Amino acid sequence: MSRPLHNVPLWTSAEAANATGGEAPEPWNATGVSIDSRSVEAGDLFVALAGPNHDGHDYVQAAFDREAAAAMVSRRLDARPEGAPLLLVVDTFEGLRTLAARARERSNAHVVAVTGSVGKTGTKELLAGALAGCGPTHASAGNLNNHVGAPLSLARLPQDAAYGVFELGMNHPGEIAPLSRLVRPHTALITTIAAVHTEFFTGLDAVADAKAEIFEGLEPGGTAVLNRDNAYFERLAAAARSAGAGRIVSFGESAQADARLRAWHPAESGGTVTAAIDGDEIDYEIAFSGRHWALNSVGALACIRAADAPVEQAAWALGAVAPVAGRGVRYRIPIQGGAYELIDESYNASPAAVSAAIGTLAETAPLASGGRRIAVLGDMLELGEDAVRWHVELADDLEAAGIDLVYTAGPLMAHLHTALDPARRGVHAPDAESLIDTLRAEIRAGDVVLVKGSLGSRMGPIVRQLAADASAARRP
């Protein structure tokens, strides 16, 4: 999340009241917007959202304790610091949404929206980092991409931003369209279409159509940036044209791609990319590991060109964008006899994402002679009736990649464990927590260990426990 430059308030009480149709009895200026009292920063406008389990109105005092500038509420409060400013609205969720709409209306930024079955958060980070090398840039924090996160991210858009990058997510049909109409992107990027959240869809065609909802808010004559290598390219391109896109820009390894990945050279951490953007060849570095991230970086540069930003300047900035926790962060962990490498891909998982992570593991050289490539995999969730098949089919990817050992956790991964060549089978456990002690005992100096699974399979604690055991140093 970015903050306004030059000490210009993000919102004044008068502007916010006008945007929301609310009342601000006392004057105030806010430099940020927050919906979580635990993470309020000094100067934030705290929005007291009411949900099924918690009501933000109960935490207004906590927000002011953290020096919130004001609180958006839908009722007057008895328990608040004397004179603490309020913005009174009929409904706080609608107030947040209308605040977001006004932020977009007053902005002159070139706005990019990003979605896709996999890779959208990392691609958003790459794109935001690249644009930041070209001018003041605001981007969604973390994966704030749903019906609450997207309006919150947009409400934080500073008036002086030259570029805005917003991630839009969904797991059911009809969820992206209203977000896109709110964000109103000039450029819309779809990373790829793959089997993710298929439990809630009739098939991949329906997934593609749901992702194509991003074009419903595209500004007239805007640009759609699409993966030329994906089987759904033509379907997505047709949807973009039908929604009024003025230009379709493709990226990929295909010779037909407008932005083409020509070469990927993995390094100890990240690697070097050679790309051709509208025929202009360029070399640059990224800190993300894996060919799939090289491809996504090319998609980001296609968006840069669509925004008429300097591509070479943006590409140079890509090297400084670091992976985020759970999405490719690497640790060098001391152990008896040396050290081993831990690759944290624990945030989420789908067949396409796990296959890509296996490819990254295959590219990564063990730290020492005799070191092994080890995959630690948790259940991939929300795959519907095909879930068992998707897990079993990972055995072919692991075999082709030459992975030495595979440890598995969860009832679905039990099917992969059975399908593996016995020589590759590590231990299977009923859940992630049950694997931790086994891994501690089995990992050797020189090994490189990948941890991957859906968020609900709780693979993250494995990473945290292993890293904490040895006070691991996060690699740059």
Neighbours of 351 (CB within 10 A): 23
* Cα 465 off chain centre by: 24
> What gap in Å lies between CA 280 and CA 312, rounded to an integer?
10
Note whether 347 and 460 are within 8 A (CB).
Answer: yes
Neighbours of 6 (CB within 10 A): 6
pLDDT: is 7 or 168 the higher one? Answer: 168
Instruction: Using alpha carbons, list the distances in angstroms from residue 99 to 29, 154, 457.
Output: 14, 8, 36
pLDDT score at 268: 81
- For helices 311-318 and 291-306, what crossing angle results, to 10°? 150
Mean pLDDT in residue range 297-306: 97
Note whether 334 and 470 are within 8 A (CB).
Answer: yes
What's the mean pLDDT when you consider all of the chain? 93
> What gap in Å lies between CA 294 and CA 284, rounded to an integer?
10
Instruction: Using alpha carbons, list the distances in angstroms from residue 272 to 122, 134, 263, 278.
Output: 17, 21, 8, 19
pLDDT score at 247: 97
> What gap in Å lies between CA 432 and CA 159, rounded to an integer?
45
343, amino acid identity: I
- Asked if the model's pLDDT at residue 165 lies above 70, the reply is yes
Mean pLDDT in residue range 151-172: 95
| Paired tokens of 264 | 């990927």
Note whether 261 and 295 are within 8 A (CB).
Answer: yes
Note whether 157 and 348 are within 8 A (CB).
Answer: no
Length of the chain in terms of residues written: 476
- Asked if the model's pLDDT at residue 6 lies above 70, the reply is no
pLDDT: is 408 or 455 the higher one? Answer: 408
φ, ψ of residue 35 to 5 degrees: the values are -120, 5
- Asked if the model's pLDDT at residue 81 lies above 80, the reply is no
> What gap in Å lies between CA 294 and CA 92, rounded to an integer?
41
pLDDT score at 198: 66
Which residue matches tokens 């100890």? 268
CB neighbour class for 81 (10 Å; exposed up to 12, middle 13-18, buried from 19): exposed
φ, ψ of residue 12 to 5 degrees: the values are -95, 160
| Paired tokens of 167 | 């991630």
pLDDT: is 197 or 404 the higher one? Answer: 404
Mean pLDDT in residue range 363-384: 94
* Cα 23 off chain centre by: 36
Which pLDDT band holds residue 469 (cuts at 50, 70, 90)?
confident
Domains and CATH numbers, the chain: 11-91 (3.40.1390.10), 107-318 (3.40.1190.10), 329-474 (3.90.190.20)
pLDDT score at 249: 98
Residue 263 in 3-state DSSP? strand
Mean pLDDT in residue range 94-98: 97
Note whether 70 and 77 are within 8 A (CB).
Answer: no
> What gap in Å lies between CA 4 and CA 106, rounded to an integer?
14
Of the chain, the percentage scoring pLDDT greater than 90 comes to: 82
Mean pLDDT in residue range 305-314: 95
φ, ψ of residue 449 to 5 degrees: the values are -120, 125
pLDDT score at 476: 46
> What gap in Å lies between CA 175 and CA 256, rounded to an integer?
32
Which pLDDT band holds residue 76 (cuts at 50, 70, 90)?
confident
Q: Is the backbone of residue 21 left (phi > 0), alpha (psi -120 to 50) or beta? A: left
pLDDT score at 79: 64
Residue 178 in 3-state DSSP? helix
Neighbours of 14 (CB within 10 A): 12
Q: What is the DSSP string of 394-417?
A: HHHHHHHHT-SEEEEESTTHHHHH
Mean pLDDT in residue range 330-350: 91
Instruction: Using alpha carbons, list the distances in angstroms from residue 119 to 125, 167, 356, 452.
Output: 10, 11, 10, 14
pLDDT score at 80: 66
Q: What is the pLDDT of residues 208-262, one digit of tens each?
A: 999 999 999 999 999 999 999 999 999 999 999 999 999 999 999 999 999 999 9
- Asked if the model's pLDDT at residue 5 lies above 70, the reply is no
pLDDT score at 413: 97
Q: What is the DSSP string of 46-109?
A: EE--B-SS-BGGGGHHHHHHTT-SEEEESS--SSS-TT--EEE-S-HHHHHHHHHHHHHHH--P
| Paired tokens of 104 | 């977009």
- Asked if the model's pLDDT at residue 3 lies above 60, the reply is no
Neighbours of 52 (CB within 10 A): 5
> What gap in Å lies between CA 281 and CA 115, rounded to an integer?
26
Torsion of CA 459, 463, 464, 465, to 10 degrees: 100
pLDDT score at 473: 47
- Asked if the model's pLDDT at residue 470 lies above 80, the reply is no
Note whether 72 and 95 are within 8 A (CB).
Answer: yes
